[in-house]
Amino acid sequence: MSLVPVTLLGLLEREPSHGYDLKRDYDALFGRSRPLPFGQVYATLARLARDGKVVVGPTEPGAGPDRKRYAITDDGVAEVEAWLAETVEPEPHLQTILFAKVTLALVLGRPAERYLDAQRAAHLQRMRVLTEMRRTGSTVDALLADYGLFHLEADLRWIDITAARLQPLSEEVRG
Amino acid sequence: MTGARPPARPDGATPLLAARDVVKSFGPTPALRGASLAVAAGEIVAVMGPSGSGKSTLLHCLAGILTPDRGEVWFGARRLDTMGEAERSALRRERFGFVFQSGQLVPELTAEENVALPLLLGGVRRSAALEEARAWFERLDLKGLEARRSGELSGGQAQRVALARALVGRPQVVFADEPTGSLDSLSGEHVMELLVAASREQGTTVVLVTHDARVAAYAEREVVVRDGTVTALLDQAAPDRAARS
C-alpha cells in the first residue's frame, strides 16, 4: 500500500475524523513542504471505503463542505499493522544517475572531477538547509532532517571515494 | 601574485582573513602549494578535504601558528606572515580563539580556570576573569561543572569547556580544527549548535576544519582543499546571513 492511504488509515486508527482534520494532521506530521491536496484526501478516503478499510458516517450538520466522519474498520487496522511490520526494500542504488554521469564523463574524456565537485556543493547546500531545519524545528523536524542528512552524507562519502579513484576508474572504462 | 592590500573576495568585499598563494612544506613534503582563501567578517566557513590534503596546515597559517614559506596571510589590513613572533602571539591571544580535536584543557586547572585562562594571560584580574568565565557555563550547558578538572568531564563536556575558553575573550575569529572529531554524533552536534549560536550572536568569524559533511553543514559555505590548493569552484560568495538566522 502506498504512503498516503496507509498514513491516513493510521491517523484514523487514533480516532474517527473528518477529511479536513485528517489533511491538517497529515500535513503537520508527514506533508511538510508537500501538503496533501483536499481532492486527494477525499479520493483516497473514497477508495479506502470502497475496499472496506474505513466506514463513512452520516453527514453531520456544521460549517464546511464535508462533515462526514470516517472511522477505520478491523480490515483497516490489519492493513496498518501489516504495513508497519513490513521491512522497506534496502535498495542497492547500483545504477544512479550520478554513477552514470561519472562513467560517461570518463568514457568521453570529460572532467568528471568537476561534475563531482558541483554535486558535492549541491549536496552540502541541501545539508545546510536540513541542518537549519533540525536546529530550529521540533523533534519531528529533526528526525525528518536527520533521515535526509544521513542519506546525503552516504552519497557524499561515495562522491569523495569516487573522486579519489578517478584515475584507475578512467583507465578501466576507457580500456 | 602579491600586493600591498589583502585580496578581495569574489563579492568585492575586503575580507577579515585571507591567504594568497600560500606555499608551505614540511621538509621535502609539500603541504600547501599555492592556497588562496578569503573569509568575510562574521562568516562561518568549513574547510574540507581528504586526510593529508593540507586543510589543517591552511588553518595554522591563517591563524599565524605557522609561517608560510611563500605567499601572504592577511588579518584585516595587517600581514601575519611578515609579523614577528611576539606580535603574532599577541594577536592570537587577543583576537583569535582556538578549539582543537581533544586534549586541550590544562589538567591541573578546574574547568572554570581553564575557561578563564585567556583572560588571565591577557592581564585581567583573577576574580573578574573567573566571573566572566562562569557566565559561559550556563550558556554552554555546563552549569555545575565549574570546579571539575578535565579528567572528571565527559568528552562532550570537555569540548564545550574548550569552546567556552575559545569564546570567553570575545575573539574576532575562532579557529576550530576537527572540533567534534573525538565525540559521538549527538555530542558533536551539541558542540556545533553552541558554536554556531555563539558566533552568530557575537558576529564571530569561524574557520572550521572538518572531514565530516554533517559538521560542515553548520557552516555558511565550504571550501575544499585538495593536494595543497583550495578548489575555487566552491569558494563562492557568502550567502546572506540574515536570511539564515
pLDDT grade for A99, boundaries at 50, 70 and 90: confident
Q: What is the pLDDT of residue B225?
A: 93
Pick the CATH number of B17-232 from 3.30.365.10, 3.40.50.300, 3.30.300.130, 3.40.630.10: 3.40.50.300
B234 at the A interface (CB within 8 A)? yes
Query: What pLDDT does B95 receive?
Result: 94
**Chain A interface, Cβ < 8 Å to B:** 114, 117-118, 120-121, 123-124, 127-128, 130-132, 135, 149, 152-153, 156, 160, 164
Cell of B91: 594577536
Tell me if B210 sits within 8 A of B225, measured CB to CB: no
pLDDT surpassing 90 at residue A65: no
Say whether domain A3-85 belongs to CATH 3.40.1790.10.
no
Residue A98 confidence (pLDDT): 80
Question: Which residues of chain B does A127 touch, with a Cβ-Cβ cutoff of 8 Å?
Answer: 213-214, 216-217
Digit-coded pLDDT (tens) for B148-204: 999 999 999 999 999 999 999 999 999 999 999 888 888 888 899 999 999 999 999
Q: Would you state the pLDDT for residue B232?
A: 55
Distance CA B165, CA B136 (A): 9
The answer, for B244 touching chain A at a CB cutoff of 8 Å, is yes
Edge-first strand listing for the sheet containing A54-59 = A17-18, A68-72, A54-59
Q: At residue A109, does pLDDT exceed 50?
A: yes
Give the ipTM. 0.75
Closest CA to A13 of A84, A76, A68, A55: A76
pLDDT computed for residue A72 by the predictor: 95
Tell me what pLDDT residue B16 has: 95
**B72 forms bridges with which residues in the sheet?**
B20
**Residues 31-70 of chain B whose Cβ lies under 8 A from any Cβ of chain A:** 50
At A67, is the secondary structure helix, strand, or coil? coil
The structural domains of chain A, with segments of one domain joined by +, span: 3-85, 97-174
Write down the domain spans for chain B. 17-232
User: Model confidence over A43-57: pLDDT tens digits?
Assistant: 999 999 999 999 998
Res B245: pLDDT = 35
Residue pLDDT, tens place only, B211-224? 899 999 999 999 99
Q: State the cell numbers at B98.
A: 582556538
pLDDT at residue B111, as a whole number: 96
Residue A43: all three cell numbers together: 479520493
From the CA atom positions of chain A, what is the Rg in Å?
23
**To the nearest whole number, what is the mean pLDDT of chain A?**
86
Q: Do B217 and A149 touch (CB under 8 A)?
A: yes
Q: What is the pLDDT along chain B (245 residues), one digit of tens a residue?
A: 556 777 776 666 779 999 999 999 999 999 999 999 999 999 999 999 888 899 999 999 999 999 999 999 999 999 999 999 999 999 999 999 999 987 789 999 999 999 999 999 989 999 999 999 999 998 888 999 999 999 999 999 999 999 999 999 999 999 999 999 888 888 888 899 999 999 999 999 999 999 899 999 999 999 999 889 998 544 444 334 333 33
